[in-house]
Each structure stands twice: as structure tokens, then as C-alpha cells.
């Protein structure tokens, strides 16, 4: 997985316990690692680094710095923010800035998964694919996926290092979660067009895979138009 394509997450809280707690909750609620996570207990270290983060977990009341004002400063950098706080009385001040949600520390185990799941939907769709199930969140770098297959009502994601069985998920539901580089080429298979090695007649050969994918003859025009549209978009 390319480092530049991973979702970059920062956690800023002067309480190291909650920094580590949130980091572990991110890991526990993600079946596949698609993140780089950095922890900061000192605001100055966060403010002076050169990393552009996609998502920030931010304590509102850090000694020496106001979380609301910091969030307003970060708005220009388009960082999505989740506030973490002991109290919810200041949350209304966050209206109009890039705040996707807030988590009350006393309820962190109950609130985290829902807020995290909803926030991932805000984040750059090209950087991470998020597939949610009742008890799990699967996160992928789009470029690591070769193809996706639907067999016996179970969904399989094939990658360079093997495959994941995501269980019983509708293929229509998955299509909604995928960026433009993924094309449904028949009833049961979705390919990553970046992995196309060759197309001959109705057969697609994919890089790093021995599998040959057959294009639906009934929908060949639609499929080829989708592939061309995706290639043009990615150029």
C-alpha cells in the first residue's frame, strides 16, 4: 500500500490515556489497515509539523490552546475534525467549520464507532474505500484492490497479498462505496481499471492475477463506456 494513499490521522489531546485509547479504537474498528496514525500530547508539536492530515481527533479544552479556535484555523487546510471532550456545552461553537462530529469522553466506547464510520464518509473517497458491516469497518487503499467478486451471496476482495471474505453484503451496496476506477463488468465481478493488463475480445487480463474476467456481452457497450470514462477521469 503506497504511503501517499493512506488516510493520515492525527490525535491531539494532552491526556495521553485518551490519545492511546482513540488510537486503539481506530485499530479495533478497522478490519484492514488503511491509516497512518500520529499521536500528539503537545499542541506545538502538532502545529509545527509539515504533515497534511485528513482527519484530526481534537480535544476542545487543551491547556494553553482553544480547540474551537484551532479548528477554525485548520479549516483552510481542509482537515476533517472530530472533537473529543469531557463536556458537550461548546459543541454549538463548531458550526461552520470542518467538524464531522464529537465524542464525549465518558461515552467514548459507546459513541466512537458510529461517529468514526460517519466521518469516514466525509473523507477523500479516492484515498480510502470504507465498507461497513454490523460488527466491522473494512478500509482499503483503492490501488491495493485487484478485483471484487460476488459468489454465493458472499463478497470477496482480492488484493496482491491474498483476499478478504467480507461475508453477506449486497454487490449494489458495495458499488456505492467505490470510486470511479472500479467498474462492474458482469453480474458478479468488479475490476480495478488500474489493474488492466490487456483486453482481448470479451476477456480482461489483470496485473498480478491469473484470473481472467469476462465482460458481460449483454452490457458490453455500457461496460466499455464506463472503463473509458474512468480512464479519462484518472488521467
pLDDT tens-digit map of 154-185:
999 999 888 988 888 888 778 877 887 888 99
Grid cell, residue 88, equals 458537550
Residue 26 confidence (pLDDT) above 50: yes
Of residues 78 and 67, the one with the higher pLDDT is 67
Banded model confidence at residue 121, pLDDT cuts 50, 70, 90: low
* pLDDT exceeds 90 at position 38: yes
- Sketch out the chain's domains with CATH numbers: 3-120 (3.40.50.2300), 142-234 (2.40.50.1020)
pLDDT of 95 reads: 58
Strands 35-40 and 7-12: parallel
Query: Is residue 2 scored above 50 in pLDDT?
Result: no
Mention every residue, 6+ apart, whose C-beta is less than 8 A from residue 71. Answer: 58, 81, 83, 94, 97, 98, 99
Amino acid at each position: 500500500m503506497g504511503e501517499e494513499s493512506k488516510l493520515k490521522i492525527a490525535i491531539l489531546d494532552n491526556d495521553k490515556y485518551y490519545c492511546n485509547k482513540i488510537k486503539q479504537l481506530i485499530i479495533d474498528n478497522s478490519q484492514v489497515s488503511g491509516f497512518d496514525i500520529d499521536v500528539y500530547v503537545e499542541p506545538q508539536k502538532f502545529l509545527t509539523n509539515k504533515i497534511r492530515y485528513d482527519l484530526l481527533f481534537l480535544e476542545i479544552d487543551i491547556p494553553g490552546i482553544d480547540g474551537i479556535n484551532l479548528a477554525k484555523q485548520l479549516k483552510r487546510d481542509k482537515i476533517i475534525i472530530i472533537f473529543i471532550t469531557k463536556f458537550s456545552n461548546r459543541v454549538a461553537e463548531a458550526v461552520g467549520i470542518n467538524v464531522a462530529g464529537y465524542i464525549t469522553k465518558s461515552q467514548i466506547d459507546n459513541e466512537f464507532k458510529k461517529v468514526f464510520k460517519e466521518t469516514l464518509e466525509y473523507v477523500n473517497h479516492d484515498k480510502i474505500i470504507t465498507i461497513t458491516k454490523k460488527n466491522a469497518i473494512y478500509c482499503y487503499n483503492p490501488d491495493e484492490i485487484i478485483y471484487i467478486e460476488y459468489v454465493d451471496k458472499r463478497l470477496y476482495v482480492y488484493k496482491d497479498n491474498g483476499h478478504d471474505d467480507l461475508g453477506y453484503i449486497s454487490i449494489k451496496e458495495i458499488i456505492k462505496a467505490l470510486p470511479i476506477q472500479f467498474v462492474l463488468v458482469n453480474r458478479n465481478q468488479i475490476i480495478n481499471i488500474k489493474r488492466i493488463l490487456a483486453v482481448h475480445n470479451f476477456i480482461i487480463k489483470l496485473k498480478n492475477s491469473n484470473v481472467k474476467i469476462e465482460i458481460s456481452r449483454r452490457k458490453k457497450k455500457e461496460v466499455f463506456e464506463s472503463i473509458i470514462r474512468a480512464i479519462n477521469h484518472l488521467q
